[in-house]
Copies of this chain bind each other. A is one copy, B any other.
Amino acid sequence: MTKEEMKEIWKVPEPTLRRLPWYLAFVKLLKGKGETFVSSTLIAKEINVDASQVAKDLSFVNISGKTRVGYEIDTLIEVLEEFLGFTSQHKAFIFGVGSLGAALLQDTGLNQYGLDIVAGFDINHEITGTSINGIPVFDIKDFPRKQKEFGATIGIITVPVEKAQEVTELIIKEGIKALWNFTPFRIRVPEHIVVQNTSMYAHLAVMFNRLNSMDQ
């Protein structure tokens, strides 16, 4: 990997990484309509972001537009999908196959975006030994052994709040590098571990509050 390529990966700000999938979804839509080129101005207008911001965000991606016609759509889709990691498969385990965990196992959409959930773990013997959507659910006791077998890099945490920290420590110990935390608990991790929090409940709280404000 060249110095230039490393710079690309390291320097991408989180807001850019959050906006790029919006651009990708929009240009895929244009492709479906038979379009072949797109300008950053058009993306900006549709996404409701400054055109200069779109150009800046796209500057992190290895693609250059042509004056007047803009970016070639096929290439932009390909380059964005690869840049965002959606074209490589990332092996993941899911910890806690309760209501939300089981729901995520059933969402085949995640697989198309590069998340390959290879197994689930739980302590409930009514669930362990079964499989959901073709994905086996094991007893958490078997996790260290299964990790040697599968070598997952991502752990999806959907356990109850009171187990979140304990499970976090267990899975880091076995070599998981990134945690996708769906619990409303702030898990604590060493510096070299990646944490992505997706709290559905926090999003609900924001929505309920804004909805109440509108009612006034």
Among B20, B114, B199, B212, point to the contact of A18 (Cβ < 8 A): B199
Q: Is A22 an interface residue (CB 8 A)?
A: yes
B residues less than 8 Å from A20 (CB atoms): 205
B residues less than 8 Å from A24 (CB atoms): 184
**Mask: chain A, 114-149; 1 = CB below 8 Å from B; 0 = not:** 110000000000000000000000000000000000
Given A26-B186, A177-B211, A85 contacting B204 (CB threshold 8 A): yes
A199 touches B100 (CB 8 A): no
B113 touches A109 (CB 8 A): no
Q: Is A55 an interface residue (CB 8 A)?
A: no
Given A85-B208, A214-B177, A26 contacting B202 (CB threshold 8 A): no
Which residues of chain A from 130 to 182 have a CB within 8 Å of any chain B CB? 153-154, 161-162, 177-178, 180
B residues less than 8 Å from A37 (CB atoms): none
In Å, the complex CA distance between A25 and B177 comes to: 25
Q: Which A residues have a C-beta under 8 Å from some C-beta of B?
A: 1, 6, 9-10, 12, 14, 17-22, 24-26, 28-29, 32, 46-48, 84-86, 88, 90, 98-100, 102-104, 106-110, 113-115, 153-154, 161-162, 177-178, 180, 183-186, 188, 192, 194, 196, 198-214, 216
Q: 25 A–B contact pairs at CB < 8 A?
A: A18-B205, A19-B202, A21-B201, A21-B202, A22-B186, A22-B202, A25-B183, A29-B162, A46-B186, A85-B204, A85-B208, A85-B212, A86-B208, A99-B107, A109-B200, A110-B200, A110-B204, A113-B200, A113-B201, A114-B208, A115-B204, A178-B210, A194-B214, A196-B204, A198-B203
